[in-house]
Each structure stands twice: as structure tokens, then as C-alpha cells.
Amino acid sequence: MNPVQILTVESLLDELRAHPVNTNQFFVEFRDQFLTTDQLRRFIKQYHFFCFRFVKILEGLLYHTPLEALDMRIELTKTLYSELGSGITDQAHVRYLERFAQSLGIQESDLMQTRPIPEVDQYLKVLDRLFLQSDFLRALGAELAVETTAISEFRFFLPGLQKYSQFTEQDLLFFSMHLQEEAHHSDWLTDAVRKTATSLEDLEHVAIGARETADAWHQFWLGMYEKVFTPANQES
């Protein structure tokens, strides 16, 4: 009989890193296949829809974090400040993504008219609920999962895009910078969990939020796979 494993921060991180979302079919085929311009546009419109709105939800999480949870608030502030370009508008992460979209001929007005696929919309709703309506420990777990699993996508996206001769290093800056940035974000959120979840019961609440978020993120990419790689889909 296998002994029951006691939940720890390390075991939760290992669980998140082993989640199937980290090696999902979208990531693998994005890295290995040559996509058409139409496919890349479908991807970036949906991805931008999420990224553009995520930071606003993160702002809400910071506001709803209890006053006494100072360590959590500090680490969230560091993450939010990073996402917003450390105070420089042109260096906000979403601006780098919009510059990549421009290299595909997508203007900001086109991005603003994007309608989300159901899986993208649902993931944002999950984050909104966990960040703004659940207890702060589940919210902390949700953001831990966001930042820990986000590292994987760039390990696939950057080499996947470097295959195309038309993209410059500047075009791909959003993707290259996140290889390092997401590692920082994950470290900051891990530190917040260590300092905020001070009992096994606290950590179990964190794990509930983390697991639900990782599962929803996986569904996000299953939907993106259908949107980008299914021939029946049209440009939208």
C-alpha cells in the first residue's frame, strides 16, 4: 500500500508542473508544424483577448486580498507591476504582444473586435470567480497555477515562431522575454504561498484553487487547438 502523501508547497508545485496542460497538443503542434498566416492570426486574436483582460482581473485580486495578508499583496504587486511594464506604458507585456500581432497584419482595432471562443471565455470566468469571489487562499492558489503553468507555453511558442523567417527578434520579444519573466512570477507567487498558507488546511484551500485553474487552462488550449488547427474554422 502506498503511503498517503502529505500536501506541501513542493508537492503542489510538482503537481502543477506535471499537469497535462504543460505538454498539450496545441503546444506541441504549434512548435512542430508550419502554420499558415490565417492560423497564426486565429491564435493571436484569441490569445490577446485573454492576455488583455487577465491583467485587469489580476488587479481585482490584489484589491480583494485581505489587508492583513501583506506578503501576498506584496508578491501580487510585483507581478502586476511586471505585467504593466514596470511603470512604462510601451513596455507593458500586452503591448509587446500587440506588436507581434502587427507583424501579422493585425491592427489594434481588429484585436478589439475579437469574439472569444467558449473555452477562452470560460477560462476568464473561472479566474474572475476564483480571484474575486472565492476565499483569498483559493485565489492565491489560482494565481500560483497561472504563473507556474505559464512557463511551459513559451518553451513551445518561441521555437515554434523562430521557424518563420519573416519574424524578427523584436517581433518575438513578447515570447522571448516571458521565458524569464514567468519564472520570476512563479517564484514570487510561491513565496506568497509559503508566507500566507501557514497550515495544512490553508494549503489545501490553495491547492483547490490551483487545481481548478490548471484544469480550466487545459480546456482553454483544447479549445484553441480546435480553433487554430481545425480546417472548418474561418478567420474571425
Catalogue all structural domains in the chain, each as residue range(s) with its CATH number: 9-229 (1.20.910.10)
Provide the pLDDT for residue 3. Answer: 53
Q: Which helix (H) or strand (E) holds 215?
A: helix 200-229
Provide the pLDDT for residue 1. Answer: 44
Provide the pLDDT for residue 146. Answer: 95
Provide the pLDDT for residue 5. Answer: 75
Could you tell me which of 26, 84, 9, 27 has the C-alpha nearest to residue 222? 26
Provide the pLDDT for residue 149. Answer: 94
> Please, which residues have CB within 8 angstroms of residue 64's CB and are 6 or more apart in sequence?
131, 132, 136, 139
Provide the pLDDT for residue 4. Answer: 54
- In the chain (236 residues long), the average pLDDT of successive 10-residue segments reads 75 97 97 97 97 95 94 93 90 94 94 96 98 95 95 95 96 91 88 95 97 98 96 58
Cα–Cα dist 229/85, whole Å:
32
Neighbours of 104 (CB within 10 A): 17
Render pLDDT for 2-34 as a digit per residue (tens, 0 to 9).
Answer: 555 789 999 999 999 999 999 999 999 999 999
Using the structure block, give the residue that is written with the C-alpha cell 480550466.
Answer: 216
Cα–Cα dist 53/93, whole Å:
12
Cα–Cα dist 190/185, whole Å:
9
Provide the pLDDT for residue 233. Answer: 59
Provide the pLDDT for residue 232. Answer: 65
C-alpha cell at 168: 524578427
The beta-strand segments (E) located in the chain are none
Phi and psi at 230, nearest 5°, equal -90, 120
**Furthest-apart CA atoms within the chain: distance in Å:** 59
Determine contact, residues 160/31, Cβ cutoff 8 Å: yes
pTM over 0.85: yes
